[in-house]
Structures are given as C-alpha cells and as structure tokens.
Amino acid sequence: MERTLILAKPDALQRGLVGRLLTRFEQKGLKLAGLKLMVMTPEIAAQHYEAHEERPFYPGLVRFMTSSPIVAMAIEGIGAIAICRKLMGATFGCNAEPGTIRGDFGVSNSFNLVHGSDSPEAAEKELALYFKAEELLEYDLNSFQWIYDPVEELGQEG
C-alpha cells in the first residue's frame, strides 16, 4: 500500500467542494487514513513550499494557502500517488481534462483546488507536516476485497 497527502486548498473549501473532492478519491477505491480541517500556518507553508522560495510566485502562494482553512487528507491504496495525481488533473484548471478534479471544477492558473504529493519521498515528508503518527489510522477497509484482486495486486494467494 502507498500513502499520499492530498490538500483541499482554500479555494476548494470556500467553494464548498471538499466533500466532492473526497468522494472522487473514495469512489476510485482509495482509503482515507487521516483527515484534518486546519489553517496552514506560515511556518508549515514555508516548509511545504521551500523548493519554491526563490520563485516570484512564492509570496502570493503562501498568502493564498494561509488565507483560509484547508483540509488535509492522507489517502492510501496501491499506486495511490499516481492515481491521485491523475484524478486531480493538470496543474492549471484551464489545461485539465474534463473528468478530473481541476478539469471539472477549475479554470484558474492561480486557484487549482487541490495539492497531491508527487513522489513517495514527498508524500512521507508532507504527511509528517500535517499529521502526527497517531493521527494516521491503520484499519482494514472491507471494500478492498472488491477493489483489489489479492493474487494480482498484492501478490498473495487467493
């Protein structure tokens, strides 16, 4: 199983889309391992976006991300990172394909509704910024037996 961070950004929360975003991930067959409504502090934003610190858009990005609550989600499943990124769509809503989150709900280059980790290393680092270890739950999701074929996906005997 792979775990990734998904953030419903301030624009998603303000537009009342958080439930619809979570539904997309759940309907795909992914498992929710953590969920938190919070305000991103400037300190968390600085750590999360440190790779962009020298970019001209950085101050506006931090201002936007700290302007309103966000919802942090820990999402789990086989290939969760790649699956979530496909569900989100291209970074800019105007370029995102219909059927993706950004393609269905976004048109802006600035407000793109959702963030998802782009690698296992980023997911591990980002999840630690938003969740304490005890806030990420381990449990069996009964529907996994109808989502994953254990012989094919998990390498186990049926």
Q: What element of type H or E holds 59?
A: helix 58-65
- Give the active site residue among 24, 96, 115, 130: 115
User: Using CA atoms, how far apart are residues 5 and 118, in angstroms rounded to an integer?
Assistant: 9
Strand pairing partners for 77? 2
Neighbour count for residue 110 (Cβ, 10 Å):
12
Give the dihedral sign, CA 94/55/126/40.
negative
User: Using CA atoms, how far apart are residues 36 and 93, in angstroms rounded to an integer?
Assistant: 25
Quick one: CA torsion of 56, 74, 10, 92, rounded to 10 degrees? 50
115 is catalytic: yes
Q: Which residues are catalytic?
A: 115
